[in-house]
Structure 1
């Protein structure tokens, strides 16, 4: 959960302290409780801040921040224009990517996807981009950099993540569903190339009325990355 490798919890085994902790059930946690925590935290997300945020590609935009009561991680919603709750809203579920979104890395297509989504929403008059704190498909920035190092040695994206002990995709899309509910959006036109993302949102109760293509051409550096997305993750890039 902390995205730390390796990870361990240590406490001094003082006899009276052990007895005290055992009596209160503090020395063990059921695996089911650990596995359930991400979804439990997601369902507790609430708005904690909101402000107008004129953007270069979307002058009429606002930023809404969400956080669970027992967590310090914020997820953001960029709301472009004024979505009509009675109509399906153009929505992009975008996982944060420090290297691509901020630094303009050519290793992925995240930056173009982020800016392209905002532009399209502005052109259509409204939309919502959910910016989720799930770097590197949920493994965190440091672990993503470790995965990059493995990719430089010949592994692809999926195998690099697995070599570090992670699943192919560790993201939790309950977060997106709760944020959409809090924004009053029930039906969406989902801007994505990932069928698994469509299925995940639908499984969380979001009505996905349309998948809207959102592909960008390879740049000469990310060609293998995009090919892996298509071949091993099932993204629809053709």
Structure 2
């Protein structure tokens, strides 16, 4: 578990990265100064490069999309450092990092890479920080030079070992009558890194083995009624089903399988080009699954729940609860919301993500 002062440094680093500021990631004597590629400006990149040219850090997923295969990093590497040749200026770098841009103005390389050596952990931590900030996981980075001045400094090991599930606290409880489930209480949880809050809806009278649903937030489906997914119908059906027996719905702020709302909309653009949901996320530089279901187990433990029945078609949710110390006594199938617009989406869940549809 990271120390509270590390939590504060990580939270501040996330905020600065989202503002387009330079952040320093340290790893003992090594370290990198990093800048979000998508938010970089001519001025901020020039500031970063005052002591020398910066590399472009990409995830292995994005590197594979760009066919940087003849210089593949060592097995298990979490970052690829592209050496920026003279042609790889700010505009070309952003086009390399962002597939939405490369559809408009593709850049084909060459993409020479360098061995990160002692900077490997700092590079992995920087990309993890970008994901936590809900930015594209692509960074300008150069080895640290000089003092940190007014830059936020965060430790690479603390970033990579940080777990929201270990740093949650309950901040509020209130009665929340819902349509179809008037006897409902909402419990709000906040992680210590300043990340998004998560909710537990205690519906009816949960018994010793309550029916549980893990629902990841989907603004487009839950609120706007998008037909590209099945999230809205699944949410409403889950509330109705749980109200019959009593149970808990965990509403986890992990939009787009954990990549965030804006990146999910980028993925939608790629889906319009013919990529499925998995390949769209990979092209953006994310993993196929970025959600953290350890959160759900931690929330249930804090509510005093240790044994559940799980309303899901996704075995990964059951496995995560079991790993987190919550016994899953049984799975209850939950399929709703099929329509002509989401057939490929549902087929991908079944065929590539192991959902039992």
TM-score of the alignment, normalized to the shorter chain, above 0.5: yes
Match of 2:187 in 1: 64
Match of 2:111 in 1: none
Matches within 5 A, 1:1-238: 1-5=132-136, 8=139, 15=146, 17-18=147-148, 29-30=155-156, 32-37=157-162, 39=163, 41-84=164-207, 87-124=208-245, 126-216=246-336, 218-237=338-357
Q: TM-score, normalised by structure 1?
A: 0.88
Q: CA deviation at 1:19?
A: 9.1
CA distance in 1: counterparts of 2:145 and 2:275, whole angstroms: 46
Distance in structure 1 (CA, Å) of the matches to 2:180 and 2:221: 18
> What is the deviation of 1:228?
0.6
1:156-211 CA distance string (max 9 Å, x none) = 00000000000000011111011101111110100000011111111111100101
Aligned-pair CA distance for 1:220: 1.0
Name the SS for the 2:133 alignment partner.
coil
What is the alpha-carbon distance in structure 2 between the residues aligned to residue 111 and residue 19 of structure 1? Answer: 47
Query: CA shift at 1:51, angstroms?
Result: 0.5
On the 8 A contact 1:43/1:174 being kept in 2, the answer is no
Paired residues of 2:137 and 2:286 also in contact (CA < 8 A): no
> Are the counterparts in 2 of residues 91 and 129 from structure 1 also a CA contact under 8 Å?
yes
For residues 213 and 150 of structure 2, what CA distance do their matches in structure 1 show? 49
Cα gap change, 1:155/1:14 in structure 2, threshold over 3 Å: closer, same or farther? closer
**How many pairs were matched up?**
225
Question: 1:35–1:217: structure 2 CA closer, same or farther, 3 Å change rule?
Answer: same
| Offset, 1:34 | 2.3
CA distance in 1, matches of 2:291, 2:232: 19
- Rg (Cα) greater in structure: 2
**Separation in 2 of the partners of 1:134 and 1:227?**
21
Distance 1:152-1:4 versus aligned 2 partners, 3 A rule: same
Q: CA RMSD in A?
A: 2.3
Secondary structure of 2:248's aligned partner: strand
Q: Residues of 1 paired with 2:160 and 2:255: CA distance?
A: 19
CA distance in 1: counterparts of 2:281 and 2:216, whole angstroms: 16
Does the aligned pair in 1 maintain the 2:237–2:336 contact within 8 Å? Answer: no
Q: Which segments of 5 or more consecutive residues in structure 1 lack a partner in the other structure?
A: none
Determine if contact 1:42/1:178 at 8 Å carries over to the other structure. yes
